[in-house]
Amino acid sequence: MKKILILLSVVVLGYGCDKVAVTAPIGANEGTTAIRFSIVTPGSEYPKILYVPNGTPAEYLSLKDNDIKVKFEAPTVAPTDIFLDYKTNAAGLAKLNADSKAKDPNYKEFFILPDSCFQILVTKDTIRKGQQYAERTGNNVVVFTQKINPAINYILPLGVTSSAYASAIGTGTIYYYIIGNPLAGVYNVTGIRYNYNGGPSGASGTFDGIPAHIPQNYTGTTAIPTPKLASPLDANTISIDFANLGGNGYKYILTQQNNFSSISIDFNDIMKGGDSNINTWLVTGSYVAPSPTQKAKFRILTQYVNNADPAAGNDRILDETFTQK
Alpha helices, DSSP H only, in the chain? Answer: 17-20, 90-103, 269-274
Assigned CATH for 185-324: 2.40.128
50 has pLDDT over 60: no
pLDDT at 227: 93
- The residue among 47, 83, 84, 50 whose CA lies nearest residue 68 is 47
pLDDT higher at 28 or 11 = 28
- The residue among 297, 11, 293, 14 whose CA lies nearest residue 153 is 11
Strand 154-162 and strand 173-178: pairing?
Answer: antiparallel
Q: How far apart are CA 100 and CA 77, in angstroms?
A: 36
Q: Hey, which of 31-40, 203-212, 228-237 has the most confident mean pLDDT?
A: 228-237
Helix and strand numbers (H, E) in the chain are 3, 20
DSSP code of residue 240: E
Phi, psi of 24 (to 5 degrees): -90, 160
pTM: 0.62
pLDDT at 296: 95
pLDDT at 13: 29
pLDDT at 174: 80
pLDDT at 142: 85
Q: What is the mean pLDDT of residues 226-235?
A: 86
Per-residue pLDDT band at 5 (split at 50, 70, 90): very low
CATH superfamily of domain region 12-178: hypothetical protein (bacova_03559) (2.60.40.1740)
201 has pLDDT over 90: no
Per-residue pLDDT band at 29 (split at 50, 70, 90): very low
pLDDT at 222: 96
Neighbours of 255 (CB within 10 A): 16
pLDDT at 300: 98
pLDDT at 144: 86
Strand 185-195 and strand 12-14: pairing?
Answer: unpaired
Q: How far apart are CA 40 and CA 88, in angstroms?
A: 23
Q: In what helix (H) or strand (E) does residue 13 lie, and over which residues does it extend? A: strand 12-14
- Give the percent of the chain with pLDDT over 70: 80
Q: How far apart are CA 82 and CA 232, in angstroms?
A: 42
The predicted-structure confidence for 57-82, as pLDDT tens digits, reads as follows: 777 776 665 577 888 988 889 999 99
The predicted-structure confidence for 237-277, as pLDDT tens digits, reads as follows: 999 999 999 888 899 999 999 999 999 999 999 999 988 88
Beta bridge partners of 178: 12, 154
pLDDT at 48: 52
Q: Hey, which of 29-38, 105-114, 212-221 has the most confident mean pLDDT?
A: 212-221
Please report, for the chain, the start and end positions of each structural domain, with discontinuous segments joined by +: 12-178, 185-324
321 has pLDDT over 90: yes
Q: How far apart are CA 199 and CA 197, in angstroms?
A: 7
The predicted-structure confidence for 84-95, as pLDDT tens digits, reads as follows: 999 998 988 888
- Give the percent of the chain with pLDDT over 90: 36
Q: How far apart are CA 266 and CA 252, in angstroms?
A: 6
* Cβ–Cβ under 8 Å, residues 6 and 53: yes
220 has pLDDT over 90: yes
Strand 111-112 and strand 154-162: pairing?
Answer: parallel
What mean pLDDT, rounded, does the chain reach? 79
The predicted-structure confidence for 105-146, as pLDDT tens digits, reads as follows: 777 788 999 999 999 988 899 999 999 988 876 667 888 877
Q: How far apart are CA 115 and CA 300, in angstroms?
A: 38
Half-sphere exposure of residue 260: CA atoms within 13 angstroms, side-chain side: 18
